[in-house]
Amino acid sequence: MKTLISNFSKQLTEAINIGCNANLSPSMQKISNVLICGLGGSGIGGSIVSELVIANANVPINVSKGYFIPAFVNENTLVIISSYSGNTEETLNCMELAIAKKAKIVCVTSGGKVQELAKSNGYDCIMIPGGMPPRSCLGYSLTQLFFILDFHKIITNDFKAELEAAIKLIDQEENNIITEAKNIAKKLKDKTPVIYATTYNEGIAIRFRQQLNENAKILCWHHIIPEMNHNELVGWTQKNDNLSVLIFLDKDEYSRNMARVEINKEIIKKYAFNITEIYSKGISAIEKAIYFIHLGDWISVLLAEFRGVDAVEVNVINHLKSALSKI
């Protein structure tokens, strides 16, 4: 897993090349909305990208992480099917439903039934390298989402230049990132992480939570500021030295959110073991997101080392899939 994380910038570079050479076809209908279907490591890219383009996208972008699709899906909907293995049963069900709704379908996969369905129905399908844990291939799937949205004129920003800048950033910062990740991982050993981020960075917080779950084999939770100020903040009433708080912050954070963070810290520090602020680096939202993702991935795998667990192993998920296959 450490090798896969180390190669994140190379993966992004390869992903850009794949996107540039993707053979996509225009929609015969005007696109009025977008639905991204995917789960786990294949689905988190949809959550992150939908937030990154929210100020630029000219139609609503929704994400489905289950068996079903919204009623609004029709021939004017662009449905992006993201399944690394190509065999994710929930996503396959969504694909079948989208086919029945005559939606414009584009697939991102390494093979499996998704590729087969795309080929037999004549749908666009971007192929990405297979054979790795899906969570380690976010760079491949996330990048293709930008290319698909750009091709269909849903976004207009220069995402490719921003991705290339992000690659340079994490390459330049790699040693610093690993050092910071190691220091944070030490704080999390034998603790339950509580992850906070601000509006439009929830995908980043979820990605980090998922990586801690799968790589470090621990439970944790996340919430978003300012929403948590209207509910979860009230729950901070008892001292618990097992809780370690991490706050992901944009270095250009909105002033009112920063004011909230400072007040929150004053309240929470009375009850939590410690509070760690993690600030973004980079200029564009894409650069900042890639930096956060890479740092979070390193924290998770180093924490796995400190805990003496195998970051790659996901036996419980394999057991679940095996049990479901018998039903």
Among 86, 36, 5, 41, which residue's Cα sits nearest to residue 314? 41
Give me the catalytic one of 51, 90, 214, 287.
214
Is-catalytic flag, 214?
A: yes
In the sheet that holds 272-279, the strands lie side by side as 221-225, 192-198, 240-249, 272-279
- Amino acid letter at 17? N
- Amino acid letter at 172? Q
Residues 221 and 224: their CA atoms lie apart, in Å, by 11
Give me the catalytic one of 102, 153, 168, 321.
321
Give me the catalytic one of 230, 262, 266, 326.
230
The dihedral of CA 84, 317, 298, 296: what is its sign?
positive
* Contact between 16 and 160 (Cβ < 8 Å): yes
Is-catalytic flag, 230?
A: yes
Q: Give me the phi and psi of 246, to 5 degrees please.
A: -125, 135
- Name the DSSP letter for residue 69: -
Write out the catalytic residue numbers.
214, 230, 321
